[in-house]
Chains A and B, each alone.
Chain A
Amino acid sequence: MAWNRAALTRREILEKCIALGSVSVVSSFPVAAVLDAFGQMEARYRRPTPPNEIGPFYKKRAPETTMLRAPGDPGMPLSVSGQVFNTRGVALSNAVVEVWQTDHLGHYDLDGYRYRAKLPVDHSSAYKFDSVMPGHYPDRVCQHVHYLATAPGHKPLVTQLYFATDPVFEGDPDRNFARDPLIHSRELVRPVMLIGDPKEIQAAVKFELVLELL
């Protein structure tokens, strides 16, 4: 009889393994409780955020702030938020997230810290910042925000956030994300929500970060 993969649940496979002796449970808790915990741990697994190049203009000692734009700054207001996890699904409230980007014209500030910040991460591992939609840097194809996320016991994550509204994708990032040769993963191109009334429209993006354990 052909073994039907779909016929057995993950839990049933584990129970079978225990019955056949290929898995043994050494615990003072009932087997069912251990299997529940095993299942929950697997369900929490998150894929690590794909890394992306750091680029040439990282600047250390960025100020701790969530407001990157100054009053009256030109460009589409942008709000980015997310949470920081590790691949086991543990929220990393001790993570540090740094972001840097160009202004709306595509210029990096090398002399100061415009559009650069170290972001506080709250007790639930959430971060957010307010900025403007970055312009197109002349030597890159797509608009992007650089990220460096670190947490004790985890590999530093260097990556970039891209926007599904980028004109380069012509509305179809699934098909066109590779038009920027530096975008190796579609996952880094995030959907954009347009919120607010037409006079004060704003772009909002969610970007979850998942770090790998050391």
Chain B
Amino acid sequence: MAPWHGLLLGFLLLLAPGSFGDSLQLVKTLTVPPEAAVQSAALSPKGDFVAAACRDGRVRLWAFPSGELRQAFDLKDQRISGVWFSSDGTLLAAGGNRGAVRIWNIPPGKLRNELNVGAAVIALAFSPDRNLLAVAPAGVPAQLWDLEIGKFMTTLPPKFAGSAAVAFSPDGKWLASADEDTVIRIYEAQTGALRASSEDFLLETFAIAFSGDSKYLYAGGADKTISAVDVASGKVARTFPKQSFVVGALRLSRDGKFLAAVYFDDKGFSNPAPVLVWDVASQSVRTTVEPGVTTNGGGFLPDGRLLVTSSAEGKLQVWAVR
């Protein structure tokens, strides 16, 4: 799997220790064995759990904010390439470097589904009703699965290569894929039938997020710009001001007013790059988290707070963005 895939799986930001000033506040430190370095993490939508993909091949699940380690899962003998929660937080999925996907009920952590998509899992999304699963394996078309009966439904093929990101609309009607042929495609979620294509992008999109009303898809990638794509037509309706860094991840607040964007430096993923919180209505930057520590996951809580996670030796830290 390409190193950049690993970076795009989660929420990545690079910050030099001590230089983040007032923008971040440490709220919790979760400990892991030294050999189990956290590669990426996911925050449950309600903020009651944190899951981490660890280098020792285990997924660790903590209750948050108590920090109590609840469970550790594995993907048999595969390395974990990412972890994802369903939008209601009741399911947790982990994908492996050779295509294994396992899904657990949270709580109590009971295995619900197990499938294989044939290649390293790059991106994954649950439909809002949790009946459908979209998975992007590395370099090949994304797949749509029916989780109720545990069956593969169809592929979502680009002209070539695979997909970097997949997302279901909040109303459950649409499934979007950001494809490596630079096209963003919108499918009918229930059937996988192609409904619109956005051919306006010259470079690849790495991150997508639907607006709360399911009418727009926010997209960011190698063009260093966030675009709002009209879902019905596939046309770019508006663009946010271009930055000097590539967009690696996007998270929309519950009320749809704020969009958190994680950037990275295309001249070296380990170079410092910021996180910006955009005001969607005015397309202006509301908060800038200056480069400081390396973080790898996060999201908005129902109360509007934005949390991000970062790993260091033997620990996963959870920060609140002020």
Contacts and interface: CB of A to CB of B under 8 A. Distances in A.
Interface of A: 51, 53-61, 107-108, 110, 138-140, 148, 150, 156, 158, 182
B86 interface: no
Nearest to B182: A60
B139 A158 contact: yes
Contact of A110 (B139, B164, B180, B224): B224
B223 interface: yes
A158 B161 contact: yes
The list of the 8 closest CB pairs from A to B, nearest first, reads A138-B268, A156-B160, A54-B161, A139-B269, A56-B4, A139-B3, A54-B180, A53-B2
15 contacts: A53-B2, A53-B138, A53-B139, A54-B160, A56-B222, A58-B203, A59-B182, A59-B222, A108-B266, A110-B224, A138-B267, A138-B271, A139-B269, A139-B270, A158-B161
B4 A139 contact: yes
A54 B139 contact: yes
B98 to A, nearest CB: 13
B281 interface: no
A148 B160 CA distance: 9
A56 B204 contact: yes
Contact of B182 (A58, A107, A182): A58
Interface of A is mostly: loop
Nearest to B6: A139
B2 A55 contact: yes
A19 B269 CA distance: 65
Most-contacted residue by chain B among A53, A55, A61 (CB, 10 A): A53
B246 A110 contact: yes
B84 to A, nearest CB: 20
A118 to B, nearest CB: 13
Tell me what chain B mostly uses at the interface: helix, strand, loop, or mixed.
loop
A154 B159 CA distance: 12
Contacts of B202: 59-61
Contacts of B246: 56, 110
Interface of B: 2-4, 8, 138-139, 159-161, 164, 180-182, 202-204, 206, 222-224, 246, 266-271
B203 A57 contact: yes
Contacts of B204: 56-58
A148 B222 CA distance: 18
Contact of A158 (B160, B223, B269, B271): B160
A55 B160 contact: no
A182 B2 contact: yes
A140 B160 contact: no
A97 to B, nearest CB: 13
Given A60-B202, A139-B269, A182-B2, 13 more contacts: A51-B139, A53-B138, A54-B139, A54-B180, A55-B4, A56-B4, A56-B204, A56-B246, A58-B180, A59-B202, A138-B267, A156-B159, A156-B161
B159 to A, nearest CB: 7
Choose among B159, B246, B267 the residue with the greatest number of A CB atoms under 10 Å from its CB: B267
A14 to B, nearest CB: 37
A184 to B, nearest CB: 11
Given A59-B203, A138-B270, A156-B160, A110 B3 contact: no
